[in-house]
Amino acid sequence: MSNQDETPEHRLRKELPDEVPAGAAEAEGAPGSVVEASEGQQDGVALTGRQRLVNGLWPPRVTRAQLIVALLLFGLGFGLAVQVASNSDSDSALRGARQEDLVRILDELDDRTQRLEDEKQGLEKQRDELENSSNQAEEARRQTVEKERQLGILAGTVAAQGPGITMTIDDTKGTVKANMLLDAIQELRAAGAEAIQVNGVRVVAGTYLTDSGNSVSVDGNKINAPYRFKVIGKPQDLEPALNIPGGVVQTLEKEQATVTIERSDKIVVDALRAAKRPDYARSSSQ
């Protein structure tokens, strides 16, 4: 049918838009006759898959943790790249070197290795010398302390303890004289006594005894009966030395004195003598 044959009613229907079915707008959930763009549409136009991907990636949504991780990865990659470039440059330099240069480099490395080895051996030798010197000094110090202790015991300037005997002389008649006690001291020394104390007075090399009325004086210190000897030494040698026939015990018993001897694993000699500095004698090692 041509345009001329169209009736006015037909032309009016073509120009007017189709009617919207009743309730269609309400079914779409939009007010009036305007339908909002659903997901996957932009301005009422359907989006392709590529467009939706672009919209999801841009603008980027970066969190702080992602940013830190990205910076760390960038720094790691940059460091690796620098290291690889440095190694490549070094390898390239060695590959491009002449044979004479390579030989010279090897000789320098050998010389440096030898110098380091010599230095290591020198340091080890110094360490050993210092250890030996330290050990020798410690041993000398220990021997000095031990010698000082021994001399102190003999000089009576330090206390001593050890096995020994205790001899008690009870003189009720007052017949015991200084020479009898001196004989007892000499007999004990000959039997190996290392430290002797009589009634609180330390007996040393220069000790002397004198009679003082009915008593005895030891180095000017008056002592009274009973006379109590505390002696450090080997008990098995000290007691028999005093009990030999015609010895100290028999002599004292003839003077009506009573002698008692007791062995002990621990005798303490704690009477001390003041250290006396010699007036004239000096050490010959000075």
Check whether residue 145 and residue 115 sit in a common domain: yes
Check whether residue 179 and residue 220 sit in a common domain: yes
pTM score of the predicted model? 0.52
Check whether residue 194 and residue 139 sit in a common domain: no
More confident position, 132 or 272: 272
Check whether residue 166 and residue 260 sit in a common domain: yes
CATH number of the domain within which 197 lies: 3.30.70.1880
Q: Does the pLDDT of residue 96 top 70, yes or no? A: no
Residue 10 lies in a domain: no
Per-residue pLDDT, averaged over 141-165, amounts to 89
Residue 80 lies in a domain: yes
pLDDT of residue 35: 41
Check whether residue 202 and residue 261 sit in a common domain: yes
Q: How far is CA 150 from CA 194, 244, 276, in A?
A: 10, 30, 16
Check whether residue 42 and residue 107 sit in a common domain: no
DSSP 103-158: HHHHHHHHHHHHHHHHHHHHHHHHHHHHHHHHHHHHHHHHHHHHHHHHHHHHHTSS
pLDDT of residue 259: 95
- What count of other Cβ atoms lies within 10 Å of the Cβ of residue 218? 24
Mean pLDDT of the residues in the chain? 79
pLDDT of residue 126: 84
Structural domain harbouring 87: 32-96
Q: Does the pLDDT of residue 89 top 80, yes or no? A: no
Angle between helices 235-242 and 178-190 (to 10 degrees): 140
Q: Which of 149-163, 188-202, 221-235 has the lowest mean pLDDT?
A: 149-163
Check whether residue 170 and residue 184 sit in a common domain: yes
Instruction: Give the span between the Cα atoms of 96 and 36, in whole angstroms.
Output: 72
* Domain count within the chain: 3
Residue 196 lies in a domain: yes
Check whether residue 147 and residue 171 sit in a common domain: no
Q: Does the pLDDT of residue 86 top 70, yes or no? A: no
% of residues, the chain, pLDDT over 90: 36
Per-residue pLDDT, averaged over 79-91, amounts to 66
Residue 193 lies in a domain: yes
- The string of pLDDT tens digits covering residues 8-64 is 555 545 544 444 444 444 444 444 444 444 445 555 556 677 777 666 666 666 677
